[in-house]
Amino acid sequence: MATLPLYKQKVVEEIRLISRSERLKSLKRADFNPFMLHSEDIAVDLLTDSGTGALSQEQCAAEEEGDETYCGSKSWRALEHSAKSVLGFPYVIPVHQGRGAEHVVDFVLVKKGSLVPGNAHFDTTKANIEVMGGKPIDCTISEAYDPSSGLPFKGNIDLPRLEKILKKHGTKIPYVLSTITCNQVGGQPVSMKNLKESSALCKKYGIRFFLDVARFAENAYFIKKREKGFGKRSIKSIIDEMMSYADGALMSAKKNALNQSGGLILLRNKELFEILQPYGALFAGGIQYGAMSGKAMASLAVGLKEGVKERYLEYRVAQIEYLGNKLREIGVPIVLPIGGHAVFVNAGEWLPQIRWNLFPGHSLACALYLEGGVRAVEIGSLLENRDPKTRENRRAKWELLRLAIPHRLYVKEHLDYVADVFRKLSEKRSSVRGVEFVRETYPMRHFTSKFRLIKS
Ligand code: F0G
């Protein structure tokens, strides 16, 4: 029996596939940087699950009542209430998006020489720590980088490694960060046990334990499905327990909170809240809007609650698995187990002719667009950037292409189409060429650098 989709379409946007020669023209105009493509030229956009999803009719209705009052807005109070009830922290600071939360927290807490250990940090997370003179330390378990390992919680922090660092450098560590799920290693979840033990270690050494909760609901769903003893627990009680281990959380509201913009800093400690709050006003926006419009806050208040519904999470994770399994059938190597928001193709393995410093993931992104108008993004050595001190290219542990599925936007046919483009590409993958810089920018070079294909 076929599964019933969770939604019906009420508002639609037409998409089309432009011709191959137009796609080539468009890619050249974009200087072989898919970030620079125009949306009208893209058939299926799997660049990101961030702010790209469809809103529900309830979110749209809430937007209509968005209160744009500068201070004292009803929409802010609705959002604050929703955030407290879903995430359980008593203090909330609004910001414009996840990196805004990082900037405020790091500006205050990270000093020159600070260390911030955690599982693999997201690129903006890393960059925000680095611009303050700190150093993120990747303590993800080593199996996270082994594509053949089927471990259910490959986002876990390596606890003995963390303890060693806490013991040796405790005074230099403003906080430890666990990113749930861990985007950089394939959208892999962190187990409850690992959260609990990371938190206990931090307590032992008197160090704050923060969570990056961009994709906390998917993480909770994986705990329910994969971790012993959680199968019968509600998503709400799992989220409550996850959050109970943390001193604070940084949230991009554009992912699991199903909004198109926004972010939050969530805190347990009043004193720290009072220190950080004015910096929210300085860098993001007023303390009761944080650069979100009243409309955005109103729809976020609703999205936070929709994003944690078990029925939705089941549908969401099944969609990612569907695409992942289709790619596996074609013989495309992907990171396993299939993650929570995206399928990660092992481009380094699939395109062995392209050396790491010619960016196999990025080259595959260009080839995929050319083949079928599908946009995706590299997660590899291009994203790793250069070492801020030596200026050498940093070699990523692996070269991936991420196919992120926006929330509630695409249906099975879109995913079948993407798999078909891969099928076509697989016949000619040995001819895919690497890319080199024409102009390299800093920081966040992947957004604005220009490339050309290397000569074959
Ligand atoms: N943390 C994680 C784990 C993220 O994946 C992102 C963004 C951020 C923080 C920053 O949040 O975009 O709201 O400023 N990830 C997007 C992505 C951009 O495509 O994975 P933001």
> How confident is the model at residue 156, as a pLDDT?
98
- The answer on pLDDT for 389 being more than 90 is no
* pLDDT tens digits, 259-304: 999 999 999 999 999 999 999 999 999 999 999 999 999 999 999 9
49 in active site: no
Is the shortest distance between the CB of 263 and ligand 1 below 6 Å? Answer: yes
> How confident is the model at residue 301, as a pLDDT?
98
Is the shortest distance between the CB of 214 and ligand 1 below 6 Å? Answer: yes
Residue nearest to atom 16 of ligand 1 (CA): 50
CA of 258 from ligand 1 middle (Å) equals 13
41 in active site: no
* pLDDT tens digits, 91-125: 999 999 999 999 999 999 999 999 999 999 999 99
212 in active site: yes
Is the shortest distance between the CB of 48 and ligand 1 below 6 Å? Answer: yes
pTM metric for this prediction: 0.96
- Catalytic residue of the set 122, 221, 230, 289: 122
Is the shortest distance between the CB of 45 and ligand 1 below 6 Å? Answer: no
3-state DSSP of the chain: CCCCCCCCCCCCCCCCCCCHHHHHHHHHHCCCCHHHCCHHHCCEECCCCCCCCCCCHHHHHHHHCCCCCCCCCHHHHHHHHHHHHHHCCCEEEEECCHHHHHHHHHHHHCCCCCEEEECCCCHHHHHHHHHCCCEEEECECHHHHCCCCCCCCCCCECHHHHHHHHHHHHHHCCEEEEECCEHHHCCECCCHHHHHHHHHHHHHCCCEEEEECCCHHHHHHHHHHHCCCCCCCCHHHHHHHHHHCCCEEEEECCCCCCCCCCEEEEECCHHHHHHHHHHHHHHCCCCCCCCCCHHHHHHHHHHHHHCCCHHHHHHHHHHHHHHHHHHHHHCCCECCCCCCCEEEEEHHHHCCCCCHHHCHHHHHHHHHHHHHCEECEEECHHHHCECCCCCCECCCCCCEEEEECCCCCCCHHHHHHHHHHHHHHHHCHHHCCCEEEEECCCCCHHHHCEEEECCC
CA of 87 from ligand 1 middle (Å) equals 18
Domains, the chain, ranges and CATH? 20-49+310-453 (3.90.1150.10), 57-306 (3.40.640.10)
* pLDDT tens digits, 197-217: 999 999 999 999 999 999 999
* pLDDT tens digits, 45-88: 999 999 999 999 999 999 999 999 999 999 999 999 999 999 99
Is the shortest distance between the CB of 344 and ligand 1 below 6 Å? Answer: no
Where does the pLDDT of residue 387 fall: very low under 50, low under 70, confident under 90, or very high at 90 and above?
confident
Give the ligand 1 atom nearest the CA of 404. Answer: 19
* pLDDT tens digits, 325-361: 999 999 999 999 999 999 999 999 999 999 999 999 9
CA of 124 from ligand 1 middle (Å) equals 7
- Catalytic residue of the set 138, 158, 212, 247: 212
The mean predicted confidence, pLDDT, of the chain is: 96
122 in active site: yes
CA of 130 from ligand 1 middle (Å) equals 16
Q: Given ligand 1 and candidates 49, 52, 183, which is best to mutate, with the most ligand atoms within 8 Å of its CB?
A: 183
Where does the pLDDT of residue 456 fall: very low under 50, low under 70, confident under 90, or very high at 90 and above?
confident
106 in active site: no
214 in active site: yes
7 in active site: no
- The answer on pLDDT for 148 being more than 90 is no
Is the shortest distance between the CB of 254 and ligand 1 below 6 Å? Answer: yes
| Mean pLDDT across 241-248 | 98
